[in-house]
Amino acid sequence: MGKRSPLMNVMVSSVMKVTRLLRRDFNEVEKLQVSRKGPADFVTTADRRVEKELVMELKQARPEFGFLLEEHGEYKGEGDSRFIIDPIDGTTNFLHSIPHFAVSVAVETRGELVAGLIYAPLTEELFWAEKGVGAYLNDARIRVAGRERLDDALLATGIPFKGKDGHERFLAEAKEVTENVAGLRRFGAASLDLAYVAAGRFDGFWESGLNPWDMAAGIVIVREAGGYVTDLNGGQDMLKRGDILVANDRLHAPIQRMLRRAHRTLDAG
């Protein structure tokens, strides 16, 4: 078992405390599915409540930290560190009573991501990592998978939804990828996709149109699990660009080449 720092202990205890009600909320959403009003307003309220309570818990323990929040934007702190929080990643799944969502918290210090936590309340899976300490699922060390061939690889991605750009681009990518790999999955929570790569469940993941809170914690966890993390251009501007590609060091380049072929085909068409 990896030894958690005091900071990680604060993150874990805060997340565990505020997510107790999420299980109850999820059961309430299931009941609301049959109502005329529907569960959308309820889920929005739950999302904001989790964020508010999580900020209160973390601020009490680390008052000098700033925050970058999905629901309420950025708050400057007095120090060099900030928490990056997604209170419910996978809200569409939550809204439709699909039990695949997570709470994500990362720490960024002087522009560097140094700690990440992703917690799936319904499965009670806690993925966490700190720079130089390794990546863990609950108390067990995790590593990215060691597959070397694309035709053995299971990849994950995200699909642009209504109102977002990139539909044609995604279809071109999906066509290229599905012709060359063992399988492609879209589960609807980027943080858990990244955690699953770190745990060796997926062999790679890419997506565009993401926000920093969607991927910050996962970046730390994948890196500490031995994975290779870049933006789609091969650089390190994931949080600024909003796109990401992760895999082990043998599959990352072949996946990137596939995506580039897809983009060239789209541009030529």
Residue with tokens 């642009």: 160
Q: What is the pLDDT of residues 218-229, one digit of tens each?
A: 999 999 999 999
DSSP character for 150? G
Residue 92 is assigned to a structural domain of this protein: yes
Residue-range definition of the domain harbouring residue 261: 150-268
Q: Are 219 and 232 in contact (CB under 8 A)?
A: no
Are residues 135 and 10 located together in one domain of the fold?
A: yes
pLDDT at 38 over 60: no
Q: What is the pLDDT of residues 124-154, one digit of tens each?
A: 999 999 999 999 999 999 999 999 999 999 9
Q: Which two tokens stand for residue 169?
A: 């681009």
Q: What is the pLDDT of residue 215?
A: 98
pLDDT at 191 over 50: yes
Strand-pair partners of 140: 137
> Looking at 141, 171, 200, which one is the last position of a domain?
141
The one-letter code for the residue type at 195 is: A
CA angle 70, 65, 83 (to 5 degrees): 35
Number of structural domains (the chain) is: 2
Q: What is the CATH number of the domain that holds 172?
A: 3.40.190.80
CA angle 228, 140, 196 (to 5 degrees): 40
Q: Are 120 and 137 in contact (CB under 8 A)?
A: no
Residue 186 is assigned to a structural domain of this protein: yes
Q: What is the CATH number of the domain that holds 15?
A: 3.30.540.10
Q: What is the pLDDT of residue 42?
A: 64
Q: What is the pLDDT of residues 198-245, one digit of tens each?
A: 999 999 999 999 999 999 999 999 999 999 999 999 999 999 999 999
Are residues 251 and 231 located together in one domain of the fold?
A: yes
Residue 1 is assigned to a structural domain of this protein: no
Are residues 256 and 201 located together in one domain of the fold?
A: yes
Q: What is the pLDDT of residue 34?
A: 41
**What is this structure's pTM?**
0.94
Strand order of the sheet with strand 228-230?
183-185, 154-157, 204-207, 244-247, 228-230
